Amino acid sequence: MRASPPDSAGDRSSPDLSKRARGRWGEDRAASHYRRLGYTVLDRNWRSPSGELDLVVERDGIVVFSEVKTRRDDRYGPAAAAVGPSKQRRIRLLALEWLDAHRIRRDGIRFDVVAITGVQVNVIESAF
């Protein structure tokens, strides 16, 4: 498991947003982070009857399914801790559905977790 260096531009606290707006804000930050690293965003908030994938990105033939967790602070534990075994199983199932629906060439897949606490972005590559 490899984590990218934290990305914390500007202000040190996240905006005071509703849970839904904070999640959207975090996904925007995560997508921007991946783009800066040379990834192409293939999908955001892709839905199927089984659930939703937050972010699907690709670089050099590797398709990355990224779960984004955004928290204002770590009072209730680290953001990445919210991606437990049942959530991981669901994301794997959704990834198979996404791949089946999008017949694209790929050299591999990876599952990342993007944990955002305040404004600090921490990408955990190959998280599961």
The tens digit of pLDDT for each residue in 25-35 reads: 999 999 999 99
Q: Domain limits of the chain? A: 2-125
Torsion angle of the four alpha carbons 26, 101, 104, 59, in this order, in degrees rounded to the nearest 10: 10
Q: Kind of pairing, strands 108-117 and 62-71?
A: parallel
Q: Which CATH number fits domain 2-125: 3.40.1350.10, 3.60.15.10, 1.10.1660.10, 1.10.8.60?
A: 3.40.1350.10
pLDDT digits over 36-91, tens only?
A: 999 999 999 999 999 999 999 999 999 999 999 999 898 888 899 999 999 999 99
Cα first-last separation, the chain: 8
Q: Taking Cα atoms as reference points, which of 35, 51, 33, 21 lies closest to residue 113?
A: 33
Which residues are 69's β-sheet partners? 115
The C-alpha atoms of residue 80 and residue 122 are separated, in whole angstroms, by 9
